[in-house]
A and B are shown apart, each in its own frame.
Chain A
Amino acid sequence: MTRSAMFYSLLLALTLSRIFGEDAENLWNQLEKTKSPQKALALAQLGEPAVPFLVKGLQRGDRVAALCAWALAEHPQPSASGALRDLLPKVDQVAGYWAAKALAKSPSPENISALAALLPLGPNSFWELSGGGKPRLQDQYDPKGNRYTAEAPAGMPNIRVAYATMEALGQIGGDVAAATLLRALENDQYLIRHAAARALGQLKHQPSSPVLSRLAEKDPVLMVRLASRDALKLLAGETLKVPAKPALPPSIAFIKTRHRSDATFGFRDSYFFPKTPRFHSGDNLFTLTPPRPDGTLRNLTELTDGEVQGPEVSTDGRKIIFAMRRNRHTDGFHIFEINTDGTGLRQVTSGNCNDVDPVYLPDGRIAFCSDRAGYQEYYHQERSRLIYVMNADGSAIQQITFNPNQDYEPSVLRDGRLVYSSYRFYAQDGSEGPLPGEFMGLARIETVLRACNPDGAADQLFYGSMRGSFYCPLRPMPFGDQFAGWHKRGYHVGVSVSHQREMPDGMILCTTPAGLTLVDPDLAPVDCELPIYPEVLNLAGGEEVYIHNYDEMNPVGRYTTPYPAGDGWAFVSHAPWHDLRVNGYGLYLMNLVTRELEVVYDDPQMSDVDPIVLAPQPPALVRSSTLAKTPGATGLIVCNSVYNSDVPYNKDAVRYVRVLEGMQMGQSINANAAFRTRVLGTAPIHEDGSFYIEVPADVPVRFELLDSEGRMLVHETEFNYVRPGETKGCVGCHEPRQYAAPGLKPKALEHPPARALRDQGDLIYMGRRERSYNTIFRD
């Protein structure tokens, strides 16, 4: 370069610096004031002149720090690396997460070293959630029995930041990164193994092949096994299959709402705050033709003070069924149907109740949820929603599920069954469990997926841990707020699985504590899930989440109400991580493999949720009912062996099984209670551990195993039911769905069933702690 060229270059730089410096200062001031993501991006786009301001933002430590880190991940500036590195071990995990992403784009020895430092040696080396500006490790008890929160030790990394770090090292590459990632494959935390396997595949790091092969075959966690298999394919020079973008449907329908609850799961929405029942509802039902930002929008319902809820499309794609109330203050929800062109609105149900979540059945009837059972779930005394079926004209309404709490959001599988969300409080009669950590058995909460025939028969767990702690069996790390997180049976933990939809390949797309998740229904329910963003584990569900909102710790944004759009693609409602408004959701088309998002529609003033495709639906099987029509008919339950259980109770001591009915609350005005339990009967266990019992139909029942003194050894923590004339069998407790019993006939089936039916004078009690019986009973 000549001297004159150098002079002019310098002059230009100074001039630009002055110009952009002023702009940068202006943008910074606005960013500080508004915390606008657009301002942060604009600032980072200015390049070097903005760095002093960005560094100032990174050092500030509030939401501005996260915005600046995120902006630097989009527009990297190596000179900001020092401040980014400083964020990695801080409490603000969103800022740390984006700092790791930004550092990936500015490779340097210092950055690699800082990133690698987030993989400590030794087990249990991460914290997960923060509270009050401090990283929380685990709740413990002081000598007086008072619960307190133990903070994570200084320097312990956050699990989500560490996850992003592994990904960053995969992008940077090199010996240090590869060695770190190789070490990460042996980490006790499956999230870290997952991230490392993906990163090493990306690096095509051949020396990791033996470990990846082992993980691909033997890792206990499905997503790690699959990530390792994908990595091995990349090592072998193969390319991974990325689903092609599907053809857009001609039209979609969706709901616009001013107030979308901030959680991504269903049961919160039936919580009756503020003063009327809320059922995941919105302001109006719209169609968008074609489904893209410039498509034609049409308001089908034109309500001014009403609500709509739960739209579904008919099998021919020409009708929409949904729930609506025209006045949110005085009316209940009822089922309505309308043609997709907005004509032919008709009301299907009526009555002084709420009918929601409708879905067309393959035989032309309709399944829906209603609070017309009249009872209330015991814990918060919400009105229980349960599943009903009816003819297309609204006649012949029949209740088909009998959960003492709530069943909702039914959808039809192509095999003709209904899959639905089921909200469960375990041991909900307040029974103490006999095992450590179960002293207050009512405290475990979970929303699982269950499936049944359209007549309610063959109801069974479809997906969910049945342990009240979704990922706990997989999670070796402490989980601060769920203070018994180390204990796989947990205390006061709860998770939620809802918004389930069957994908073209049979996988189930749903929302779980890890956000959007694909579930393989053919695998064991405790290890069949593939979260789209594994790193948001536990932020999108859980008892603590439903009380405490953790969205501010979520670095990837909120996702809800997915709807299949083709192989590997779905329409989703999404709000970016920096938009926590209740009206922040927009509609996107999402690639579930690459996480690519394409905006479909976004009203900045409203949340856009519940998209459905207005097109003919894949055919589903019609299942006929074989239930008894006799009034008062009973059902039968056969258990192959009570010894098939992973619960560590004293199996040698088992002598009897006691059958308990969960008696629903009809009139209670309290909350956080235990409800009544009726002792239906006690029967001896056969020598092979089997039992065979006649129970009342359509009544929630559960079992307790007793010793010779009649003392409870272990209790089933949830309720089941049989329909009239149905025989329901189980292999044992907590066995995988498709686990086949050995070809031995249970001894119990060699004899008539024991009787456990409602009788005059049955012992009725309300929880073990208070022992309030209807008659004297001595333990």
Chain B
Amino acid sequence: MRIAPHPLKYLALFFCLLSIRSAQIESFHHQEVRRLTALLQSPVAAIRVEGVQGLAGMKHGPSEEKLLPLLSDPNEQVRKETTLALGRLGSALSFEPLVNKLEDTSWEQRKLASLALEEFNPGSTASWGRGQWLDWAKSSSRREKVAQLLAQAQQPGPSRERVLRALRRWVETSDEEAVLKLLEPASNLSITERTLLCEALERIGSSKSIPTLARQHVEAAAWALGTLGGTEAEAALLAARKTPAVMINLDRLASTNCGSFLPHLVYSFGLITYRSHPEDLHFGVAQPVQRAAANLILRSGQAPTLIEGIIRELEQTMQPSVVSNTPLTLPPDVTAMLAQMREELKPGFVRGDGLTTSQPLSALHFIVEDPSIAPRLRPLLKHPAFLPRIYIALTLCKLQDVAGGEEILSLIKEGYKFSDATALASGKHFDQSQTVRWKGFLCMALGKLRTDAARTALEQLASDQDQPRDVRYGAVVGLGFLLHPQSRPLLERVAQTDPIWMVRDEARQIMARLDLTGQRALAIHKEAQ
């Protein structure tokens, strides 16, 4: 047993910096909108497609104006995705441009426009051409259309959903009261119907809508509250069931009040041994719920004590154990959460059946920000349970700890005591980790170190046929995080020669991404000329 040299000395500093830090943390939603909007301007069509698809996936209504010009993009795929996107999020603003698409030379474009326009009229319009749509548009004003739809929406029945879908497209801010009236409890709306009206309020609502939205208990209400904002909206979200949509919108509102459900935030991170979060380490970017949860923890001010608690649990389960003599006070629910993790920190543990309790490990690399903690983390790379090694490696690499990277590399190079052919694939065998291949995850972590040394090491591992298949695969995935042009020849060789399909396929996909990056750079260069 040894005494930990770092008790709580970082805590005070953390608290001092907290208020400044909270203000600096941009919400994931804002970041994503900014990123995707920028992609719309790319000279490379495939990248514009990504931007269009992303904003459509978010149903980001404010992007409608930016999307409309792309209906006449020179690239057909961009035009197609834009039509699809406007079918998802378009308002009256999109109506005429979509009608004009009905005379496109491409059947697919015409059909997509027709399907998008079906959302604007609850009648049978599938066979309508441009002329019929324009006639219908001229036959009444927007206000009259809304009035008619509102009247129809009073009538319950199977057609009401189509009416509300159209209403969602045509309403404007002046219609807020009427929409709110529809959402009165007596209306007895279905979940889908309430969702449609919440989406309408997201676009046209004001603070007046917040009390009504707070009562709806549908995902769309959370998005509307996130869009409308303010303390009342935050309070409504804090009172709601903590679904991913609720957490993402709390993050949008830069909430600093989520410390009361810290364990719930921590359990949002998933875990590679949990049955439904198998491979999140393979994603180049974290999942929305993970990024939102990390932001909420950081803004809550509880990250330093949580980090300290997690690290202490790991230190205490080392062999020999490291015990701190400095008291640490944690909320009871956090203490219980960390205690539950102990079962999974035993030597040889792989996974239990059903739920897992080690999510604090996966939270670690999202919430640790201070590089000076790295020396304390490095010894944990040799934790007797192998799962902490993976997440500690990720944390060290996130902190850009070069010394940690070297230790990770030497761990990888130690190799296994078994051959690929006789190795177990996974942890279905519960308590036997002797033949579990886990070092590929360390390669992925190295990819996130983003140093030249890491890239060189990964290139060597990826092309070394004497390395086990998980290491070669993990090395290629890691090179994908680095996405360095110099890796391309190596990736090309791997894509052609590695005997393992997974390795070849991953290399091919990274090459395609590299080529796209190069294409983008080239196009920008040409534009500049």
Cβ-defined partner of B32 (8 Å) among A329, A709, A710, A776? A776
Hey, which chain A residues are within 8 Å of B289, CB to CB? 772
Provide the bound-state CA to CA distance between A772 and B293, in Å: 13
> Does the CB pair A684–B501 fall under 8 Å?
no
Q: Which residues of B388-432 are within 8 A (CB) of A?
A: 419-422, 424-429, 432
B147 → chain A closest CB, angstroms = 24
Q: Which residues of A654-708 are within 8 A (CB) of B?
A: 655-656, 664-676, 682-684, 686, 708
* Chain B residue nearest to A667 in the complex (CB): B440
Q: Which residues of A346-381 are within 8 A (CB) of B?
A: 351-354, 372-376, 378, 380-381
> Does the CB pair B426–A276 fall under 8 Å?
no
> Does the CB pair A383–B425 fall under 8 Å?
yes
Hey, which chain A residues are within 8 Å of B420, CB to CB? 332, 352-353
> Does the CB pair B111–A670 fall under 8 Å?
no
> Does the CB pair B46–A353 fall under 8 Å?
no
With an 8 A cutoff between CB atoms, is B382 at the interface? Answer: no
> Does the CB pair A332–B421 fall under 8 Å?
yes
> Does the CB pair A669–B276 fall under 8 Å?
no
Cβ-defined partner of A669 (8 Å) among B88, B351, B419, B506? B351
Cβ-defined partner of A778 (8 Å) among B39, B58, B276, B429? B58
Cβ-defined partner of B287 (8 Å) among A382, A665, A769, A772? A772
Question: Which of the listed residues A275, A354, A684, A771 has the most CB atoms from chain B within 10 Å of its own CB?
Answer: A684
> Does the CB pair A667–B422 fall under 8 Å?
no
With an 8 A cutoff between CB atoms, is A773 at the interface? Answer: yes
With an 8 A cutoff between CB atoms, is B366 at the interface? Answer: no
Hey, which chain A residues are within 8 Å of B244, CB to CB? 771
> Does the CB pair A708–B115 fall under 8 Å?
yes
With an 8 A cutoff between CB atoms, is B43 at the interface? Answer: no
Provide the bound-state CA to CA distance between A779 and B219, in Å: 9
> Does the CB pair A766–B53 fall under 8 Å?
no
Known A372-B499, A374-B500, A668-B272; contact A761-B435, beta-carbon cutoff 8 A: no
With an 8 A cutoff between CB atoms, is B64 at the interface? Answer: no
Known A275-B429, A666-B506, A671-B427; contact A760-B115, beta-carbon cutoff 8 A: no
> Does the CB pair B77–A755 fall under 8 Å?
yes
Hey, which chain A residues are within 8 Å of B281, CB to CB? 667
With an 8 A cutoff between CB atoms, is A607 at the interface? Answer: no
* Chain A residue nearest to B353 in the complex (CB): A672
> Does the CB pair B59–A775 fall under 8 Å?
no
> Does the CB pair B47–A760 fall under 8 Å?
yes
With an 8 A cutoff between CB atoms, is B361 at the interface? Answer: no
Provide the bound-state CA to CA distance between A664 and B509, in Å: 14
With an 8 A cutoff between CB atoms, is A170 at the interface? Answer: no
Provide the bound-state CA to CA distance between A376 and B501, in Å: 12
B interface: dominant SS: helix
Known A675-B278, A760-B513; contact A374-B503, beta-carbon cutoff 8 A: yes
Provide the bound-state CA to CA distance between A6 and B411, in Å: 95
Hey, which chain B residues are within 8 Å of A332, CB to CB? 419-422
Provide the bound-state CA to CA distance between A376 and B470, in Å: 12
Question: Which of the listed residues A380, A673, A682, A710 has the most CB atoms from chain B within 10 Å of its own CB?
Answer: A673
Hey, which chain B residues are within 8 Å of A766, CB to CB? 276-280
Hey, which chain A residues are within 8 Å of B14, CB to CB? none
> Does the CB pair A774–B287 fall under 8 Å?
yes
B interface residues, how many (CB within 8 angstroms): 88
Provide the bound-state CA to CA distance between A672 and B429, in Å: 12
* Chain A residue nearest to B57 in the complex (CB): A777
With an 8 A cutoff between CB atoms, is B49 at the interface? Answer: yes
Hey, which chain A residues are within 8 Å of B95, CB to CB? none
Q: Which residues of B267-286 are within 8 A (CB) of A?
A: 270, 272-285
With an 8 A cutoff between CB atoms, is A290 at the interface? Answer: no
> Does the CB pair A667–B470 fall under 8 Å?
yes
Hey, which chain A residues are within 8 Å of B115, CB to CB? 655-656, 684, 708
B27 → chain A closest CB, angstroms = 11
Hey, which chain B residues are within 8 Å of A683, CB to CB? 108
Provide the bound-state CA to CA distance between A430 and B248, in Å: 23
> Does the CB pair B276–A376 fall under 8 Å?
no
Q: Which residues of A143-168 are within 8 A (CB) of B?
A: none
> Does the CB pair B502–A375 fall under 8 Å?
yes
* Chain B residue nearest to A274 in the complex (CB): B429
A335 → chain B closest CB, angstroms = 13
Provide the bound-state CA to CA distance between A528 and B116, in Å: 45
Question: Which of the listed residues A670, A674, A771 has the most CB atoms from chain B within 10 Å of its own CB?
Answer: A670
Known A353-B499, A682-B84; contact A376-B425, beta-carbon cutoff 8 A: yes
* Chain B residue nearest to A355 in the complex (CB): B421
Cβ-defined partner of B279 (8 Å) among A331, A382, A668? A668
With an 8 A cutoff between CB atoms, is B288 at the interface? Answer: yes
Provide the bound-state CA to CA distance between A668 and B424, in Å: 11
A547 → chain B closest CB, angstroms = 13
Hey, which chain B residues are within 8 Å of A763, CB to CB? 53, 57
Hey, which chain A residues are within 8 Å of B46, CB to CB? 759-760
Hey, which chain A residues are within 8 Å of B288, CB to CB? 773, 775-776
With an 8 A cutoff between CB atoms, is B438 at the interface? Answer: yes
Hey, which chain B residues are within 8 Å of A767, CB to CB? 276
A-B contact pairs, 20 of them (CB 8 A): A272-B425, A275-B429, A276-B422, A277-B421, A325-B421, A332-B419, A670-B273, A670-B274, A671-B275, A684-B108, A752-B108, A754-B108, A758-B509, A761-B39, A761-B54, A773-B57, A773-B288, A774-B284, A778-B58, A778-B219
Q: Which 3 A-B pairs have the closest CB atoms?
A: A332-B421, A761-B50, A381-B426
Known A331-B421, A354-B421, A373-B500; 5 more pairs at CB < 8 Å: A666-B470, A668-B278, A670-B277, A709-B165, A774-B283
Residue positions of B touching A, CB distance < 8 A? 28-29, 32, 39, 46-47, 49-51, 53-54, 57-59, 77, 84, 87-88, 107-108, 111-112, 115, 118-119, 165, 219-220, 223, 244-245, 248, 270, 272-285, 287-289, 350-351, 353, 419-422, 424-429, 432, 434-438, 440-441, 444, 468-470, 473-474, 477, 499-503, 506, 509, 512-513, 516
